[in-house]
Amino acid sequence: MYRTFMSQENFDFVARALTCLAIEVGVKEGDGSFWVCYGSFVLNQQTPESDLDLLCIHTKLTAVRRIQSSFEGHPVTIYSLNRNDFASDGDQKIFGGYFGGKILNPHVMFGTSQKDQDMMVDVGGAFIGPFASAMAKKQKRDVATGTNLAADSVLARFHLCPWYRSYFLRYYASPIFPKLWERMAEVITLSFLKAGMVAQSGTDFRYRYSLPDEELHENTLAAAARFWALGSCLHGCMPDFPAFYMQKAEQYVKDNNLEDRLEELMRFLYTQSVGQNKGGIHGT
Amino acid sequence: MSEIVRVATKAMRMMLGEHDDPELVPISFPGSSGARVSIFRHSRTNSLYAVKCVSGSRVSLMDEMGKREILVPYLRDHLPRVLWCQVVDDFEVMISECAGVHTLHHLIVSSDVPHSRLLVVWQDVVETLVRTWKASQHQFQEALCPRFFPARLQRIKDGVRSSVIGGVQLSKCWNMPIIINGSEYSSLSESLEKIAQIGKPSIGVVCHGDPQPSNIVVGEGNMWYCVDWEWAGSHQDWRMMLTHLYGWWSTRCIALTSESVVRVAQNRLEVEHSTFIPAHLRPYQDIALSAASMMSDGFPDKETVCDINRFLAALYFGEMRFLSLWGREAFAASMLAQAVATVSELRQDESAQPFQFPQRKE
């Protein structure tokens, strides 16, 4: 999906890492497992200290795990989970989008079949779709362009987790953001179509349904609770994980004096959500 | 009140509640990562807490806690529990149980605890680590090693290049022969090339990433606890870990007999130094060395000895970067000399003398 953004050097580095790291998760080629790389390596934004962020989806009957390893001096964080568990984070939001959300970010897949790729697209769309629909409803907008859908989905993620804003800000501040945003609009649109969230009419799209307010509220709380509960479990059962995550996110904005950029990002997203943009970020 | 103490105190109050007034006991020297640990005593319960504050560290404290989990199956009784971890005023702060106020380092160099007792603790530390290495051994994959040596060696090279000792900028002497106390040795560039030829071990092991006395807290009844888990991992090279156990005594405990001299003369880098490890500390180093025999079921083969010496030389070169943190800048010439001498004397013949460090003539 985002392979064209990743340098060949990074792609080869990750491919090389996966052959070594497979042993950490206990998977091997041909056993139905596949890998997803997300985070700084995808957009070549890594520093020597950056984590290599990986998701390993497999068919083993093991619980979700967070594995910390390293490769050629880079710290590595691997989330390992069963294929069915991953799928259930889409429509059912069983982990509150802990994984469904990750694949809404730029990512590159390794060792995937067409069936795997279809599942990935479906899970992302199924997870965020109902919340994105609520964003459109709030804007009183019936028809959407691909760009509107992308903005809806990002705003929906901010609604579920306001601290995700500082993470997304890294994309927004990148010089390649205009091209990245175009690609995100294409990928999100495809995800929503695949997950049956929207119906297409030419270049326009309509959300197929929107949740009643009460149900939306309940689903939002459930997703948030599941997300933070899993996060705490996977971080050494630390009850402080949510506070730590939130404070780190706020710190990133403060340390880098990005308060103005954050406001600009929010204006950009609202503009993209409301406007009849056919794509790109021109005229914002 | 320093910024670190202010933040640590604030974190303690956040954890305990505003009505408690934790008493600051000591604060440790910073580690090479720059982290600072303050120790507090609870005013009513007398319980001790270690408060670690880091800013801009290479390893986030939340990730360090993940690394701790790797050690749990092997060192369960030697790992303090983490109680609290949050961000406070620009610092990541972690509060953990504290079973003792002092590290083994502190007790050895500046306490009245008898060495007979501390040697027992150190022996147990070394033996427990060797048991961990043996129980966790698996095929070594260098790329997965948390202390990935090629990257570490590059950082060491960069550190040596930027070092200035006795007014001499080492980058300007990179290819000069080095004369140490009148004997000629390899240049810096040759020495570092020899270190880079380090061989691969047959096994990888689980280990704390920096096992040495500053990272061991001593509690009651000879109990000890490992702290600072940020470089712990499953794919360590036990020979590198052994050099941390052994080399610490050469880097942190040597004494100067006279002031060192470093100069450039006739296109040669000349170093004159005289250092020794105090006799009462040598048994600690012998215990560290015994790990090599325990791992090899006898004396290690020559290849292993040479590789351990290469790691030692790398450690000596590397520690030059941190001497100022410990107020030991005066030992820079000795570290440099020892690194060069250790790597220059690598020989796989009968006369190879492993792990030497100058001893004072009795």
- ipTM value of the model? 0.85
Q: Are A259 and A134 in contact (CB under 8 A)?
A: no
How far is A191 from A128, CA to CA, in rounded Å? 10
User: How many angstroms away from the CA of B237 is the closest CA of chain A?
Assistant: 14
Q: Which residues pair with B91 in a beta bridge?
A: B88
Contact A73 B148 (CB under 8 A): yes
Residues A186-240 have pLDDT tens digits of 999 999 999 999 999 988 999 999 999 999 999 999 999 999 999 999 998 889 9
* Parallel/antiparallel/unpaired status of strands A52-58 and A34-38: antiparallel
Contact A241 B62 (CB under 8 A): yes
- Which residue among A21, A73, A251 sits closest to B90, beta carbon to beta carbon? A251
How far is A55 from A58, CA to CA, in rounded Å? 10
Query: Which domain covers residue A209, as residue numbers?
Result: 3-274
**What pLDDT is stored for residue B360 in this prediction?**
42
Contacts B85 to A, Cβ<8 Å? 238, 240-241, 244
Contacts with A123 (C-beta within 8 Å, 6 or more apart), sequence order: A86, A87, A89, A90, A99, A100, A103, A195
Task: Please indicate if any CB of chain B lies within 8 Å of the CB of A48.
Answer: yes
- Which residue among B67, B86, B233 sits closest to A244, beta carbon to beta carbon? B86
Strands (E), B98-239: 138-139, 164-165, 168-169, 178-180, 183-185, 203-207, 216-218, 224-226, 233-236
Owner of token pair 């001096």: A73
- Reported as type and span, the H/E element at residue A23 is helix A8-25
**What pLDDT is stored for residue B286 in this prediction?**
92
Contact A70 B141 (CB under 8 A): no
Contacts with A96 (C-beta within 8 Å, 6 or more apart), sequence order: A89, A160, A222, A223, A224, A225, A226, A227, A228, A229, A230
Closest residue in A to B141 (Cα–Cα): A20
**What pLDDT is stored for residue B300 in this prediction?**
87
Give buried/exposed letters for B276-285 (b at 16+ CB in 10 A, else e). Answer: bbeeebeebb
Contacts B63 to A, Cβ<8 Å? 51, 68, 75, 77
Task: Please indicate if any CB of chain B lies within 8 Å of the CB of A17.
Answer: yes
Tell whether A280 is covered by a domain: no
Contacts A248 to B, Cβ<8 Å? 60, 87, 92
Residues A60-84 have pLDDT tens digits of 999 999 999 999 999 999 999 999 9
Query: Helix crossing, B115-136 with B61-75: angle to 10°?
Result: 90
Counting one residue from A and one from B, how many pairs have CB atoms under 8 Å apart? 76
Q: Are B224 and B78 in contact (CB under 8 A)?
A: yes
Contact B58 A247 (CB under 8 A): no
Q: Where are the domains of chain B?
A: 3-97, 137-208+235-344
**What pLDDT is stored for residue B66 in this prediction?**
92
Tell whether A281 is covered by a domain: no
**CA angle (A7, A181, A171) in 5-degree steps:** 65
> How many structural domains is chain A composed of?
1
pLDDT (tens place) for every residue of chain B, 362 residues total: 588 889 999 999 999 886 777 888 877 666 666 678 899 998 888 899 999 999 877 788 999 999 999 999 999 999 999 999 999 998 999 999 998 888 999 999 888 899 999 999 999 999 999 999 999 999 999 999 999 999 999 999 999 999 999 999 999 999 999 999 999 999 999 999 999 999 999 999 999 999 999 999 999 888 999 999 999 999 999 999 999 999 998 888 899 999 999 999 999 999 999 998 899 999 999 999 999 999 998 888 888 989 999 999 999 999 999 998 888 999 999 999 999 999 987 754 444 444 554 444 44
**What pLDDT is stored for residue B22 in this prediction?**
81
Task: Please indicate if any CB of chain B lies within 8 Å of the CB of A20.
Answer: yes
Q: Which residues does B contribute to its contact with A (CB < 8 Å)?
A: 58-60, 62-63, 65-70, 82, 84-88, 90, 92, 141, 143-146, 148, 150-152, 233-235
* Parallel/antiparallel/unpaired status of strands B268-276 and B178-180: parallel
Task: Please indicate if any CB of chain B lies within 8 Å of the CB of A232.
Answer: no
pLDDT band per the 50, 70, 90 thresholds, residue A284: very low
**What pLDDT is stored for residue A283 in this prediction?**
36
How far is B32 from B252, CA to CA, in rounded Å? 13
Contacts B235 to A, Cβ<8 Å? 69-70
Contacts with B188 (C-beta within 8 Å, 6 or more apart), sequence order: B160, B170, B173, B174, B175, B176, B178, B269, B340
Contacts with A138 (C-beta within 8 Å, 6 or more apart), sequence order: none
How far is B355 from A244, CA to CA, in rounded Å? 44
Q: Which CATH architecture best describes the domain B3-97?
A: 2-Layer Sandwich (3.30)
Coarse DSSP helix, strand, coil percentages of chain A, rounded to the nearest 5 percent:
50, 15, 35
- Which residue among A75, A238, A247 sits closest to B87, beta carbon to beta carbon? A247
Contacts B145 to A, Cβ<8 Å? 70
Contacts B72 to A, Cβ<8 Å? none
Tell whether A180 is covered by a domain: yes
Residues A71-130 have pLDDT tens digits of 999 999 999 999 999 999 999 999 999 999 999 999 999 999 999 999 999 999 999 999
pLDDT band per the 50, 70, 90 thresholds, residue A280: very low
Contact A236 B152 (CB under 8 A): no
Contact A236 B141 (CB under 8 A): no
**What pLDDT is stored for residue B34 in this prediction?**
67
Contacts B67 to A, Cβ<8 Å? 68
Tell whether A283 is covered by a domain: no
Contacts B53 to A, Cβ<8 Å? none
How far is A35 from A78, CA to CA, in rounded Å? 10
How far is B37 from B95, CA to CA, in rounded Å? 9
Contacts B69 to A, Cβ<8 Å? 236
**What pLDDT is stored for residue A212 in this prediction?**
95
- Which residue among A49, A236, A255 sits closest to B66, beta carbon to beta carbon? A236
Contact A24 B144 (CB under 8 A): yes
Closest residue in A to B90 (Cα–Cα): A251
Q: Are A185 and A279 in contact (CB under 8 A)?
A: yes
User: How many angstroms away from the CA of B284 is the closest CA of chain A?
Assistant: 31
Contact A236 B143 (CB under 8 A): no
Helix (H, G, I), strand (E, B) or coil at A204: strand
CATH number at residue A100: 3.30.460.10
Per DSSP, B103 falls in state B
